[in-house]
């Protein structure tokens, strides 16, 4: 694809190619990073339960929290890979950069966990006490 700012690449805009690249990146993140895979699996379980009980606001909350957590996790993976590519030796500044990226992931995981646990209890209570 053509980069307008660098004036490089081939001309033409292909939205399907962009979608393909994004899906390929997500697939790589799920396959290569176990933390992404298990978090996605947990979210899908809670999401299925929310859909089964037709709790649409809960579905939206789980989707948003999962998306934000995945974005933070994927950015963290990309930052760590880039840092390792640029500096393979132990470097204090690179370590600080990785720690900051990990802190962003930690915050997103904390919020994701709160929402997932809350939604799990909400769905369980609906199942137990609606009868």
5 and 41 share one domain:
no
* pLDDT (mean) for 101-118: 92
Sequence-distant (6+) residues with CB within 8 A of 39 are 66, 69, 70, 73, 109, 112
Total tally of structural domains belonging to the chain: 2
pLDDT digits (tens, 9 = 90+) for 56-82: 787 888 889 989 998 998 899 889 989
The model carries a pTM of 0.74
Q: Which domain holds residue 48?
A: 34-129
pLDDT of residue 99: 94
50 and 18 share one domain:
no
């Amino acid at each position: 694809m053509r980069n307008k700012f660098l004036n490089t690449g081939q001309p033409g805009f292909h939205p399907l190619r962009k979608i393909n690249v994004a899906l390929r990146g997500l697939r790589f993140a799920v396959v290569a990073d176990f933390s992404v895979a298990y978090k996605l699996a947990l979210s899908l379980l809670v999401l299925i339960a929310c859909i089964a009980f037709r709790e649409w606001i809960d579905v939206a909350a789980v989707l948003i929290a999962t998306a934000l957590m995945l974005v933070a996790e994927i950015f963290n993976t990309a930052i760590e890979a880039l840092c390792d590519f640029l500096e393979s030796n132990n470097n204090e500044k690179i370590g600080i950069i990785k720690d900051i990226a990990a802190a962003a992931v930690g915050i997103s995981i904390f919020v994701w966990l709160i929402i997932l646990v809350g939604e799990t209890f909400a769905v369980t209570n609906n199942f137990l006490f609606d009868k």
